Structures are given as structure tokens and as C-alpha cells.
Amino acid sequence: MSKPSLRVKPTPLVRKTRIPTKRKVQGFIKRKIITPFISALKGIKDVYTFKFSNFKLKDGIKPHELSLVIVLGIIFGLWPILGTGTPLSLFISWYLKLNIPIMQALHVIFTPFAIALGN
């Protein structure tokens, strides 16, 4: 029976890196750049079919909806966590089908007051 060798093979100081083949590079470019770009171009037609019925300023708004928009706009304008009021107000106004431009305008108007209050 032979004894196992205790010699350690020296590791090279410079690792050999694999150079990607032309086929792999082309596949990567197609998968990460070309295909998403084409799918984005196909999605552009959705922009033209988007309905702007929720972005009306005054047309057909009821008094209780207007008061809710004003109150929520002021609340999100004075929201203590800067940077989260805009997405929250957009989501809530979209979800409740409220008037987005009025709520965003009030949010922008009252944000300096929140900064002045030290929020």
C-alpha cells in the first residue's frame, strides 16, 4: 500500500479567465437589450389607448369628492416622511378614483410647510 501524497499543488497567481465566445455575447445582447427594447416598442400602443378620465380638473366632481381630495392633499403635503407622500397620494387618488391634479397641487403647496415644521 502506498502512502498518500501530502504535497500541495501550487495555485497559479493569475487565474485564467474564460473569454466569452461570439455566440454567447450575441445571445446576451439579444436577451438583455434587443428583446426588452422590442417589447417596450410593442407596449407603446398602450399609451395611446390610456384613458385620461381620472385626470379631469373639475368636470363632474361631486362636493364630497372635492372635500376628500382637499383633505387628503393637505394630509400628504404635511406627511412627515419626505419622498413617500407623492407615491402614496398618487396611489390613493388612483384607487379611490379621485382628482389627481388637485391632490398633487395641494401636496406640492403644503410640502414647504411640512419642512418648516421640522418633519
Could you tell me the pTM of the whole model?
A: 0.48
Do residues 65 and 96 lie in contact, with contact meaning Cβ atoms separated by under 8 Å?
no
Do 44 and 92 fall within a single domain? no
pLDDT of residue 62: 77
Task: Please write the tens of the pLDDT for every residue from 55-88.
Answer: 555 556 777 888 888 899 899 888 888 888 889 9
Q: What whole-number distance in Å separates Cα of residue 90 and Cα of residue 84?
A: 10
Task: Please write the tens of the pLDDT for every residue from 23-52.
Answer: 888 888 888 877 777 776 666 555 455 454
On whether residue 105 sits in a domain, the answer given is yes
User: Domain containing 90: what range?
Assistant: 53-116
Do 26 and 78 fall within a single domain? no
